[in-house]
Amino acid sequence: MASNPSLGWERLKDVFYRVRECYSLSWNNINISNYIVAVAPFSTAIALYPKSQPTVSTQNHNNTINQLNQLNQLNRSSLNAITSTLTNFNQDNTQSNNISGTSYFNSDLHASNTSSGSNVIQIFSGSGSKLFNINWNEVANGKIVDFFFSINEDLIIILENGIFRNYYDFNGNFNEFSLGFNSDKIGINDIKYYSTGFVARLNNNNFIHVNDYNNPYPRLLASFNDKNSNNNNISNPNANTANNKVSAINAANIDNQSLITTTTTAKSLLNDSSSQFFNDTSYFNIHAWNIISPSFSLTKNIEILISRDDTIYTIDDQSINNKFLNEGPFDFIAISPNAEFLSLYSSLSNKVYIISSDFQRKLSEFELNNNNNNITNTINISAMNNDNGNDTDSNNDKPLQLQWCGNDAVVLSFNDEIKLIGPSSSYINFYYDSPVFLNTEIDGIRILSNSKLEFLSRVPDLTVNIFKIGSTSPSSILLDSIDTTSISSNSSSSFNSTSLENLSIIKDGLVDAINCCIKGSTEEFDVYWQKKLLKAASFGKSFLEFYNSDFLIESILLLKILNQIRSHNIGMFLTFNQFNLILSNGLNFQDNLINNLLIKRNQFFLALKISEKLNLPNDLIYINWACLKIKYSPNVDDKSLLKIILNKLSVIKNISFEKISQIAYQEGRLNLSIMLLNYEPVSGKKIPLLLNMEEDELALVKAQESLNYELILYVLLILYYKYLILKNPSNVNYESSNLNSNSGGIGEFFNIINNKKIAMNYLEKLLKEKNFANLNPEDSIILLKKYYYSFDNRINIANFQIIESLKNENIDRDLLHNNLNNAKTYGSVITTVSSNTSNKTTSINGEISINNGTAMDTNNLNNTITNITNANNELINRELEKFEQQKSSINKAIKSYNEFKNSNNRNYIDDLKYLQSELKLIQVQENLTKDLLPIHPNFKIHHLSVIQTIEELIKINKFQSNASSSINNKTFKILKEFKITELRYQWLVLKTLTKQRKFNDLLTFVNNNSSASGKIVIGYKPIVNECLKYGNKKFAALFVKKSNDIPYQEKLDYYLKCGDFRNYCEEAVKNKDLNRLKEILQLYNENGTSSSNTAIIDIIQQYINKIKR
């Protein structure tokens, strides 16, 4: 029978703490004092790297430190001698590292390695079983600054040259990244880390933050050295450094008042700015530092706490802030797991301070004793197995580590003991044979020694109520009931009278007792007590008619799983609280973290069973199993191995084969990799792998099969970059190569996309839209042309020539525009001169005097006229040249289309007819340009359609002069040749003239066309509507009056819209419509008796009287 758990408890005032063994470590002959140690979160893994023997400089440094410690024992009257010694120490050791803020286990990290530079990083499970080794050569790989485990048990190794490695499995695979910011030249000093990132301190005391190990994005934080950063209230580092050095010597056995006196004296003695002490930049001291992760920071950004001088500074991305403490310098800064509290240790005062993380409250202050005296403010120390109640610690050195035990207490480690300090300044000592390594957990602290892994934690109140000697709590009584009865079945008749009497004592507290026993079972590591407490809960439940057993069943299930992963073979000793936190993703842990840790250990079967019990996704288990199967099956052929993998993975629907295929490719099994990719359900995951395998054509085929145009574009861009850029980076102008040749990268590119109709059509569309690969329009056209020639696509070549014909080759539009303006200006001058020749007088100097007072030299005038004529001729020639170029392109296109004249494809025949019609139009436009452009400089009809050409003729047609008859003839010729009806033509005239507000020309046109037949084809109503649309009521009323196709009632309505009351009344009188006249008369009578209304009323009344007669 196991002893009562309370026998191992230690009282700390009103609460209890206990140290429980997790594992007896299975490693042999390992003294962790000789190793740099890293422990994974929840202590699931341990990494060890041997320390090297200190170099001579390091030994001298340590000797000097020992001398300084001896000087601490001197009387204060020897301050001058101490000052002299300190100054000499500074001059001899300007390059030595300050160890005040460095953990014991990392203190020798920067020492030189063995002569060969080779060593081994050993990774163990929490039980001390070897997981794997990393052979490390510092000469080849770099000097290690520190290493640690991420929340996913990835081993992160930080190197002095600014490189860090992420070993993401236990097979030695890693990713390597650089921190940048000249860290390779400056060097890394040390690091602090949190669950997903870390902060590195450079040798110049700058800080670099990496927030993601897998996808790092290093950021340089605010710096003391940066003059542009927001450095609030930063004191002079040189002056305070002197204070720190001298104060450190006199820290022992002095009270606060004497400390102030001694510090002041030291300042006055050392306040010489010219001394070596102040000129040495190495005394820009950071005594200790730590970080608050973004998830706990108030700003949600990384926050660094730095002990410098006698205070604490906080650093974030933008600023540095002084927190104005005066108890420093602090050698250790520890942050509680919930980031609400800080613990600070100062060797100057030999005190531990507990404050809030916002620096607003000091919660506790604990002074460590010196020279074997009792500590101050300490009670209840009998738990230390010390009969005298005195602290027998004879070690006067500063602590090796300062860590939190959960969120309730802090722990200091020394060479042969650890000291747990509670909120009330009470403490407990635990003794060890050698130094230990402390690792804070959310609910306690792990203690790693040479032979054991232990867990120190507070005893929960419910556990105290159950196991405390003499406890009368309902849960304790319920547990006692198990000892007083012999249960042979679940029937209450088998219980003895003592058990029933115990239950009667509990009465209404039975439910709480049951729940406490269930919760208590989860707090125990010993399976014996787990079973006994659960048995007690089950016993009590049998006496309740209604009790929800879900909590009991769930707890039993989780304890079974916990006991499995706690086994020595697995080596993952999680507490129940930690296990629950992982399952609930309480700290943003990776989903299915438990299974990920098991998979790293190749515990696939256990991971699968846990997933089934907890309803967790198990895809990752099968995927990793398949990857491992490929790695360890080199002698199995591809088809057999594929069959084995498919049979095993067939139980999972839509499982991803991406990672499995990638591993097969990495193992050199290309065919197996491609076969596996055929089973990948997501097309977007296939394509990148195929492209990496150089299977370009297959990647394009798979992209087409997905019918995902973004994937097709992705492949086309990759192929374009690979074949057209990388293979020929200097060939920017594709026109320089032979378009009919498929040699070189361009040929390979087109060969891959050949017969891939979807990809070919999509590429053609993108090139036409000039929206491919960020090509400029010219390069897009060149590549499109090469595309057509490569596939001998003559029809598209013809179409391309047509497109080319629509361009204005080598036409300087600005020059033409200026010529037109000049022609207008000088044309007006010529008109003025010619109109005034009768009034000119010739002066003595040969000038022509104009009647308006303008004088112009005859020669200049002739030159101007010549220039205008030349400009006009140049304008005409260039316009005609455009027609010739367009005709040439159309003729080439017609020639290409004629090769398909026997084709049954109706589209080709129709297109050919269209091209022939277009060529006829170009000829007509060219003739019109020859005839009309000299007279009308703005007459430009290149690239216009038949309808647009007719509209341009309408614009210059006055419909009344002799010139207009010539234009009319040209217009009617086009109408006849292109079979445009009179109705369409009249509509064009109406729309064009009204839009330009040429209503007089419109009236002339209507008169000319209506004189013979009495009406026009389109009728008068559209004409009236168009005039009203453009606001000309006068002409609208005129056309209403001229119309003979508008009904009487509509005529009256139009007259009203036009405001023509006289014609309205005359039309009404003509039709003897007295009612309409009375209606309008009444309307004006209602609108008032203004002068204008009175005149209109009189007119209307006259017309009414006229009808009445």
% residues pLDDT > 90 (the chain):
48
- As for how many domains the chain has, the answer is 2
User: Residue 231 — very low, low, confident or very high, per pLDDT cuts 50/70/90?
Assistant: low
| pLDDT > 90? residue 835 | no
Helix (H) or strand (E) holding 551: helix 550-565
The string of pLDDT tens digits covering residues 962-979 is 556 788 888 889 999 999
| pLDDT > 70? residue 263 | no
pLDDT at 314: 94
Exposure string (b/e) for 500-520, b if CB count within 10 Å is 16 or more? eebbeebeeebbebbbbbbbb
pLDDT at 284: 61
Helix axes 906-932, 962-977, angle to 10 degrees: 170
Are 1014 and 1044 within 8 A, CB to CB?
yes
Tally Cβ neighbours within 10 Å of residue 303.
Answer: 24
- Residue range(s) defining the domain that contains residue 803: 793-944
pLDDT at 1100: 82
State how far Cα 638 lies from the chain centre: 39
More confident residue, 259 or 847: 847
Beta bridge partners of 356: 341
Range in 337-341, 379-383, 447-451 with the lowest mean pLDDT: 379-383
Could you tell me if residue 817 is inside a domain? yes
In whole angstroms, give the CA distance from residue 400 to residue 103.
6
In whole angstroms, give the CA distance from residue 305 to residue 313.
6
Are 149 and 155 within 8 A, CB to CB?
yes
User: What angle is formed at CA 313 by the lines to CA 307 and CA 314, rounded to 5 degrees?
Assistant: 120
| Beta strand segments in 871-961, E | none
| Beta strand segments in 100-252, E | 118-125, 130-137, 144-149, 155-159, 163-167, 174-178, 188-193, 198-202, 207-210, 219-220, 230-232
Could you tell me if residue 964 is inside a domain? no
| pLDDT > 90? residue 483 | no
The string of pLDDT tens digits covering residues 909-925 is 777 788 888 889 989 98
More confident residue, 372 or 569: 569
Determine phi and psi for 710, rounding to 5 degrees: -70, -40
Could you tell me if residue 36 is inside a domain? yes
In whole angstroms, give the CA distance from residue 1068 to residue 1108.
13
pLDDT at 230: 58
User: Residue 793 — very low, low, confident or very high, per pLDDT cuts 50/70/90?
Assistant: confident
| pLDDT > 90? residue 1064 | no
pLDDT at 729: 57
User: Residue 278 — very low, low, confident or very high, per pLDDT cuts 50/70/90?
Assistant: very low
pLDDT at 583: 86
In whole angstroms, give the CA distance from residue 546 to residue 3.
34
Q: Which of 295-304, 336-345, 738-747 has the highest mean pLDDT?
A: 336-345
Q: Assign residue 40 a region: left if phi > 0, alpha if psi is -120 to 50, beta otherwise?
A: beta
In whole angstroms, give the CA distance from residue 247 to residue 241.
10
In whole angstroms, give the CA distance from residue 982 to residue 1005.
13
Beta bridge partners of 137: 118
Using alpha carbons, list the distances in angstroms from residue 945 to 474, 918, 970. Answer: 101, 9, 16
Q: Assign residue 389 a region: left if phi > 0, alpha if psi is -120 to 50, beta otherwise?
A: left
The string of pLDDT tens digits covering residues 933-948 is 888 888 888 888 999 9
Alpha-helical runs (H) found in 484-526: 497-506, 510-523
More confident residue, 1082 or 210: 210
In whole angstroms, give the CA distance from residue 833 to residue 754.
71
DSSP letters spanning 260-283: HHHHHHHHHHH--TTSHHHH-GGG
More confident residue, 211 or 265: 211
Look up residue 795 and give its amino acid: I
3-class DSSP string for 880-901:
HHHHHHHHHHHHHHHHHHHCCC
The string of pLDDT tens digits covering residues 392-423 is 443 457 899 999 999 999 999 999 999 999 98
pLDDT at 412: 96
Are 367 and 377 within 8 A, CB to CB?
yes
The string of pLDDT tens digits covering residues 514-541 is 999 999 999 999 999 999 999 999 999 9
Selection from 945, 59, 6 nearest residue 463 by Cα: 6
Instruction: Report, as an integer, the average pLDDT of 439-453.
Output: 97
Are 179 and 162 within 8 A, CB to CB?
yes
3-state secondary structure of 931: helix
User: Residue 607 — very low, low, confident or very high, per pLDDT cuts 50/70/90?
Assistant: very high
811 class by beta-carbon count within 10 Å (0-12 exposed, 13-18 middle, 19+ buried):
middle
pLDDT at 827: 45
In whole angstroms, give the CA distance from residue 226 to residue 956.
75
More confident residue, 518 or 929: 518
The DSSP symbol for 753 reads H
Q: Which of 894, 916, 944 is the last residue of a domain?
A: 944
User: Residue 584 — very low, low, confident or very high, per pLDDT cuts 50/70/90?
Assistant: confident
Using alpha carbons, list the distances in angstroms from residue 768 to 4, 586, 783. Answer: 85, 54, 10
User: Residue 262 — very low, low, confident or very high, per pLDDT cuts 50/70/90?
Assistant: very low
Instruction: Report, as an integer, the average pLDDT of 1026-1030.
Output: 93
In whole angstroms, give the CA distance from residue 73 to residue 71.
5
User: What angle is formed at CA 35 by the lines to CA 30 and CA 38, rounded to 5 degrees?
Assistant: 105
Cβ neighbours for 894, distance < 8 A, ≥ 6 positions apart: 912, 915, 916, 919
3-state secondary structure of 720: helix
Instruction: Report, as an integer, the average pLDDT of 276-282.
Output: 37
Range in 348-357, 445-454, 1056-1065 with the lowest mean pLDDT: 1056-1065
pLDDT at 372: 36
Instruction: Report, as an integer, the average pLDDT of 317-335.
Output: 92
The string of pLDDT tens digits covering residues 127-146 is 999 999 999 999 999 999 99
Q: Which of 220, 244, 274 is the last residue of a domain?
A: 220
Instruction: Report, as an integer, the average pLDDT of 363-385.
Output: 52
pLDDT at 1086: 73
| pLDDT > 60? residue 233 | no
Look up residue 665 and give its amino acid: Y
pLDDT at 661: 96
More confident residue, 609 or 252: 609
Q: Which of 164-178, 794-808, 1085-1099 has the highest mean pLDDT?
A: 164-178
User: Residue 746 — very low, low, confident or very high, per pLDDT cuts 50/70/90?
Assistant: confident
Beta bridge partners of 334: 343
In whole angstroms, give the CA distance from residue 270 to residue 432.
42
Could you tell me if residue 828 is inside a domain? yes
3-state secondary structure of 438: strand
Selection from 337, 350, 341, 349 nearest residue 412 by Cα: 350
Range in 121-130, 728-737, 1077-1086 with the lowest mean pLDDT: 728-737
| pLDDT > 50? residue 738 | no
% residues pLDDT > 70 (the chain):
74
User: Residue 446 — very low, low, confident or very high, per pLDDT cuts 50/70/90?
Assistant: very high
In whole angstroms, give the CA distance from residue 295 to residue 1083.
80
Selection from 735, 894, 734 nearest residue 805 by Cα: 894
In whole angstroms, give the CA distance from residue 883 to residue 922.
7
The arrangement of strands across the sheet holding 417-421 comes to 401-405, 409-413, 417-421, 427-431
More confident residue, 522 or 67: 522
pLDDT at 1079: 83
Tokens at 238, concatenated: 């040189």
In whole angstroms, give the CA distance from residue 982 to residue 974.
12
More confident residue, 796 or 953: 953
| pLDDT > 90? residue 109 | no
Could you tell me if residue 216 is inside a domain? yes
| pLDDT > 50? residue 385 | no
pLDDT at 895: 77
Q: Which of 878, 909, 944 is the last residue of a domain?
A: 944
358 class by beta-carbon count within 10 Å (0-12 exposed, 13-18 middle, 19+ buried):
exposed
Question: CATH no. for residue 208?
Answer: 2.130.10.10
The residue whose two tokens read 């005839």 is 931
User: Residue 487 — very low, low, confident or very high, per pLDDT cuts 50/70/90?
Assistant: very low
Cβ neighbours for 493, distance < 8 A, ≥ 6 positions apart: none
Cβ neighbours for 141, distance < 8 A, ≥ 6 positions apart: 159
The DSSP symbol for 33 reads G
Selection from 190, 439, 143 nearest residue 304 by Cα: 190
The string of pLDDT tens digits covering residues 654-693 is 999 999 999 999 999 999 999 999 999 998 999 999 999 9
pLDDT at 222: 86
| pLDDT > 70? residue 552 | yes
| pLDDT > 60? residue 72 | no
Instruction: Report, as an integer, the average pLDDT of 1079-1100.
Output: 75
User: Residue 250 — very low, low, confident or very high, per pLDDT cuts 50/70/90?
Assistant: very low
Tally Cβ neighbours within 10 Å of residue 488.
Answer: 7
In whole angstroms, give the CA distance from residue 481 to residue 503.
8
CA torsion angle for 762, 764, 765, 771 (degrees, to 10)? 100
Whether pTM exceeds 0.85: no
| pLDDT > 90? residue 728 | no
pLDDT at 881: 81
956 class by beta-carbon count within 10 Å (0-12 exposed, 13-18 middle, 19+ buried):
middle
More confident residue, 931 or 353: 353
Alpha-helical runs (H) found in 615-731: 619-631, 638-649, 658-666, 670-677, 683-692, 696-706, 709-720
| pLDDT > 90? residue 550 | yes
pLDDT at 177: 96
Q: Mean pLDDT over all residues of the chain?
A: 79
pLDDT at 860: 67
Range in 78-82, 328-332, 1076-1080 with the lowest mean pLDDT: 78-82
| pLDDT > 90? residue 450 | yes
User: What angle is formed at CA 126 by the lines to CA 443 and CA 130, rounded to 5 degrees?
Assistant: 165
